Amino acid sequence: SFTNCYPCAVVYRRFLFHQPATVLHLFHLFSGLALAAFNFGAQLYHSAVCILVQFLMLRLMGRTVTTVLSSFTFQMVYLLAGYYYTATEQYDIKWTMPHCVLTLKLVGLAFDYYDGGKEPSKLSLEQKSSALPSVPSLLEVAGFSYFYGGFLVGPQFTLRSYQKLVAGELTDCPGQPPNSVFPAMKRFGLGFLFLVIYTIFAPYYQDSYYLTDEFEVRPFWYRCVFILLWGKVMLYKYVSCWVIAEGVCILTGLGYNGMVDGKHQWDACANMKVWLFETTPLFGGTIASFNINTNAWAARHVFKRLKFLGNKTLSHVTTLVFLTIWHGLHSGYILCFSMEFFIITVERQAQALVRDSPQLTRLANSPLYPLIYVVQQFFHWLFMGYPLVAFCLFTYDKWLKVYSSVYFCGHVFFLMAYLILSYLRKALVPKTRTE
């Protein structure tokens, strides 16, 4: 399905780049509908209903808080109802998969339309770049929603970006299709490489193995290493999809991000920082490199709009709660995101300790660092895979069985670290540096 999007991008570049906006909206609309019909059949009506309702809200309710709240409520309730009525105890590819992407796109559209009615002085630079000066047409909203480069798995992008694409502005050659074939093929090749790796190793690291008697009788160290390798392989499924989809966006020009230091940038739709993902020894680094556009959407439309709470931690927790609900109704999502929050909290405290302690700073900069890096990477990927067990096994009875088999080592490790770090700070950080 993802590779089918590339011919659409080629047709757009070769034959439609100079066509009027109406023609381009229709092409994007029918290409996306064909993609939806191929994958989900008659169930494509779910997306059509939500797009139509969203347009009517914008048109009839105007630039009001009520519009934003109504959009948020309707789209999220529709998505959650879809999760409820299609729920199974395993990962399935069904209409709710692209619909969760569409939900964010339509809710973001309501926010951007609302921002367009504010005084420019009251908007951040980010909000100014995405605010809509006028209500879009139904055809425009439909083309934006069904655009083949982002319909199935993302990335998230704004209607303003889509409007620039249709206007032929997202190109390094004004008036001509962008010189983006090589950058697009690089992302396609990289995504295909990850897809090959996933295809080769996925049969050896299946979710179902966790629930077998064979896994239970394995030694503790084996179970931990399996979690580490399984987590890494499992994430390649997402990496491959997102990088291949990014290539489509680059090919059309939607990925164009201006010039930096005299070089044209094609990362506007990047959902992965692959090098950072592969090399960082930090949990925060992995999160910063993974699902970038969704995280940016949550930061822009949830976290930053909660400034009135006056508490960053509360805003962060609320954002994670939203992302948990957006992913689905299973208890595994709750545990995964709560573990993520706790792990990041502990890691930040540990980083602050290393930064403020002269002894630890010297150790981190010593010739021993390569060895430290290897050990750090082992624990990093072990405890990245650990919360993902709950994320992928969904239900309480399954993930509890796995965590029991490894003696809740992830919970114990980070709880102990959280309790010990304050004492280590007192012992290793000079008082003058903490005053």
Q: Which token pair is 389?
A: 């067990």
Q: Contact 161/249 with Cβ under 8 angstroms?
A: no
Tell me the angle at which helices 21-40 and 159-166 cross, rounded to the nearest 10 degrees: 120
Catalytic residues: 291, 327
- Residue 372 half-sphere exposure, CB side, CA atoms within 13 Å? 11
Alpha-carbon span 200 to 319, nearest angstrom? 36
- Identify the helix (H) or strand (E) that includes residue 68: helix 65-86
What are the angstrom distances between the C-alpha of 416 and each of 160, 198, 355?
A: 48, 34, 20
- Alpha carbon distance 276, 274 (integer Å): 5
Instruction: Give the helix/strand (H/E) hosting 264.
Output: strand 263-264
Report the distance separating Cα 280 and Cα 131, nearest Å: 35
Surface-to-core class of residue 391, CB atoms within 10 Å of its CB (0-12 exposed, 13-18 middle, 19+ buried) = buried
The residues, any chain, with a CB within 8 Å of residue 181's CB and separated by 6 or more, are 251
**Beta-ladder partners of 290:** 272
Residue 137 in tokens? 């047409």
How many angstroms separate the CA atoms of 216 and 129, rounded?
Answer: 53
Contact 187, 244 (CB under 8 A): yes
